[in-house]
Each structure stands twice: as C-alpha cells, then as structure tokens.
C-alpha cells in the first residue's frame, strides 16, 4: 500500500490535555485549555485534509476528540471523510494533566448503549465504523451474548462494527474476535491493532483478517512516539538515507505492509503531521526492511514499557 489514501489521522493526542505519546509536549499549546486544544485539532485536521488524508479516528475516551471532530465536520462539510470511533473506555481525567486516572474501561451492554448515543450525538451519521476499544482475551464481550446481539443489530442497520486490540496477546484476540458470529453472520468486519517494528507480533493475524475481508487499521506505528524521539540506529540510518525524519520511516514500514488498509498517524501539531506525511515518499529497500525486522522485542516487554510511559 502506498500514497495518502492509506494514511489516516488518529486524534488520541489532540482530544485531551494528557496522553502517553513521547514528543507531544512541545507540539501542543502551552496552556492546553479546551479552546486551545480545539484550535490545535482543527489546524491539524485542516492540514491533513488539504494534504489528502480522508480517514479520521477518535474514541469516547479521547477527551473531547469527538466533539472537536464533529464541530470541524459541521463547519467544513467534507463529505469524503471516513470517521471511525471507539467505545468501551470513559475519559475521567477532568481535563487535568496530573489526574491520577485518565480513563476507565468497561465492555458492557449499558456502557455500549450510553456511549453509542454520545458518539451519535456528536458525529451523527458521519460515524462509519464503531469499534470496541482495546479488546483483550479477558473481555466480557466474549461471554456476553446480549451485547454481541446488539452490536449485530447495529451492523445490520448499516454501521460497520469492529474492534481495536492492545496487549501482548493481540494475535489471539484478533483471531478469536473475527470468529464471532451472530445468526450466522460475522460480527466484526474491521480491526485496529498496534503494529510497529518493535511490536510486529500481530502481523500474521492481521494478514489473515485482511484476506478474510476485514478492514485492517494500524495504530501506534511510532510506538507512541518512541521511534520518532528515540529512534534505534536502524531507524535513524534509514531516515538519513531517505532524507526524512525517523517518524516517516516508522510509518513507511506500516504503509509497506500489503494487508494494512489504513495506517493511522497520531500527529499533535501541523509540523508533526507534515513530517509524518513524508512517509508516502519513502520506498523502503531490502536493507531498510532487514534493519527494521531486527528491532522486534518480546511482546510482554514492549507492553510493559508502554504501560510505564507517563501521562503528560
């Protein structure tokens, strides 16, 4: 896959004042007020659309991301933007960077009903894909037939239903979730997973998902900014060879995957976005790919490192 048609914009870093992305601090407004963050979101959305990005991803737990996105869509009236969002986490950070807890997870039918109404109120019929946020093998969804039935009803009414994954067991989660059926119909037709050169373990499962007809979205291609701010030597050398930033190399690695339908960039500013967009100009060669393949670490270690990232 190549070109801007394969890139989307994720709003995790723009919808709330605190997040775990490395390198976000200097990119955001100094005061991080609601209005300042709203304007920063609009600036990045405008720049992304002008550049050719046509997929935007949000979530109920991304603070005011859905509100920011809904307002931007209403003002700009871009009919060709595909909107995806997620339910299952609730933002509880109270717009504080020092909140002891920023989000709370709950995969239940009452949580789905409440958050679906909230998302619909903010995004209207622009919501094209609604995903279970961070599905894991222990999610109660797997044992909750009434919840799965309601999700199937939404799918039958034209809303695409999917899930995102996190944690060291992503591959098992993808395979198990894509096997779920309701009344003989596959429940999920889209999956969003973390894939990057440090954590590629879900790759084979995502290839299977793509070949089965699911829309595959790649998130956290920069490893929450770690590959951009603290690039391993292999990434830094490839960036120098191609004349781009290390962020573009990490995104190019994801864009190179034949099964990745949409690769989400998580830029927190227009400058970061422009640097990210250089990925579409990069054609990774065998030397680049071999170097990147050597970066993989055990999934348990990757996710432990990610869990230790501070919210700021």
Is the pTM higher than 0.85? The answer reads yes
**In Å, what is the CA distance from 271 to each residue of 102, 266, 277?**
27, 12, 10
* 3-state SS, residue 51: helix
User: Can you give the pLDDT at residue 3?
Assistant: 56
Residue 260: name the closest of 71, 46, 2, 87 by CA.
2
Mean pLDDT of 110-128: 98
- What's the token pair of residue 124? 């209207």
- What's the token pair of residue 87? 């339910």
In the predicted model, is pLDDT for residue 24 greater than 50? yes
* 65-89 pLDDT, tens digit each: 999 999 999 999 999 999 999 999 9
Return d(Cα 214, Cα 175) in angstroms, integer: 12
* 206-242 pLDDT, tens digit each: 999 999 999 999 999 999 999 999 999 999 999 999 9
Mean pLDDT of 20-43: 95
In the predicted model, is pLDDT for residue 1 greater than 70? no
């Amino acid at each position: 896959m190549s070109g801007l048609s394969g890139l989307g914009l994720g709003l995790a870093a723009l919808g709330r004042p605190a997040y775990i992305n490395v390198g976000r601090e200097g990119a955001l407004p100094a005061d991080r007020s609601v209005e300042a963050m709203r304007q920063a979101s609009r600036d990045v959305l405008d720049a992304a659309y002008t550049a050719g990005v046509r997929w935007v991803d949000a979530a109920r737990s991304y603070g005011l991301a859905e509100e920011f996105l809904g307002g931007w869509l209403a003002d700009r009236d871009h009919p060709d933007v595909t909107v995806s969002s997620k339910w299952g986490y609730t933002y509880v950070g109270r717009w504080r960077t020092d909140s002891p807890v920023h989000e709370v997870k709950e995969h239940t039918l009452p949580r789905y009903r409440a958050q679906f109404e909230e998302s619909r109120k903010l995004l209207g019929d622009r919501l094209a894909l609604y995903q279970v946020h961070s599905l894991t093998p222990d999610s109660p969804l797997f044992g909750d037939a009434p919840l799965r039935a309601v999700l199937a009803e939404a799918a039958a009414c034209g809303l695409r239903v999917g899930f995102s994954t996190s944690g060291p067991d992503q591959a098992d989660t993808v395979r198990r979730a894509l096997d779920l059926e309701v009344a003989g119909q596959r429940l999920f037709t889209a999956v969003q997973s973390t894939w990057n050169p440090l954590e590629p373990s879900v790759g084979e499962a995502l290839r299977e998902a793509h070949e089965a007809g699911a829309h595959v979205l790649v998130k956290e291609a920069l490893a929450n900014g770690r590959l951009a701010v603290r690039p391993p030597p292999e990434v830094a050398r490839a960036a120098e060879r191609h004349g781009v930033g290390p962020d573009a190399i990490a995104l190019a690695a994801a864009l190179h995957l034949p099964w990745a339908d949409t690769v989400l960039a998580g830029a927190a500013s227009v400058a970061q976005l422009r640097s990210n967009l250089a990925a579409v100009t990069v054609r990774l060669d065998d030397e680049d790919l071999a170097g990147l393949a050597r970066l993989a670490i055990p999934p348990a270690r990757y996710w432990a490192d990610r869990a230790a990232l501070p919210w700021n």
